[in-house]
Chain A
Amino acid sequence: AQSVTQPDIHITVSEGASLELRCNYSYGATPYLFWYVQSPGQGLQLLLKYFSGDTLVQGIKGFEAEFKRSQSSFNLRKPSVHWSDAAEYFCAVGTRGYNKLIFGAGTRLAVHP
């Protein structure tokens, strides 16, 4: 069965520092992979997605993620975090053909000034 693991429940970084959020997935074939962000009191906004091709994916708000098949990972990165990036981040894997998403438990990011 497909599954997604986000090992870090909470992460705190200083404003301007770099960020990496980890995501590992379990899936029998090449997955569709997504990162969503949920700001306090808001719905989920798509940051970026990977379907095929270039394994380094650029998203909105300066985020990028790299698909590493050998490690079953899809880690999210940002070179310099802004205070407005404080939110909860969800990694998700999609099942091809039926478009159902399996979500990780989320990583809550706090940003210190």
Chain B
Amino acid sequence: DADVTQTPRNRITKTGKRIMLECSQTKGHDRMYWYRQDPGLGLRLIYYSFDVKDINKGEISDGYSVSRQAQAKFSLSLESAIPNQTALYFCATSDLGAGSSTDTQYFGPGTRLTVL
């Protein structure tokens, strides 16, 4: 089974609709992230969470919100979807302990979102 799962894998919606993308992980990591990928731009950070009570905006958080329901679950919401939010969305997790050198991010398979 995959360590980081995302649902749905594909979604087509209309402008103005509310959309939620979900991410679950079985790695036991404290840190979770949401990125979007656009052609020619690489991945850009939307939000990140270092634990259930710690949520932070990334570089492109406008138009998005998140919820960390549990250590293993991190959801991304588009309150009112617009066409320029059409992108590939990735969830990632990482674990960093004191003095650890293992702060590597592990990615889910992605959700392809199309906003018409």
Chain A interfacial positions (CB closer than 8 Å to B)? 4, 9, 32, 34, 36, 42-46, 49, 51-52, 90, 92, 94, 99-101, 103-106
Contacts and interface: CB of A to CB of B under 8 A. Distances in A.
A49 B104 CA distance: 8
What DSSP secondary structure best describes chain A's contact surface? strand
Nearest to B42: A103
A13 to B, nearest CB: 21
Contact of A46 (B45, B96, B106): B106
B90 interface: yes
A98 B90 CA distance: 19
B86 interface: no
A101 B45 contact: yes
Contacts, number: 52
Interface of B: 4, 31, 33, 35, 40-45, 48, 58, 90, 92, 94, 96, 101, 103-110
A43 B107 contact: yes
A90 B31 contact: no
A36 B105 CA distance: 10
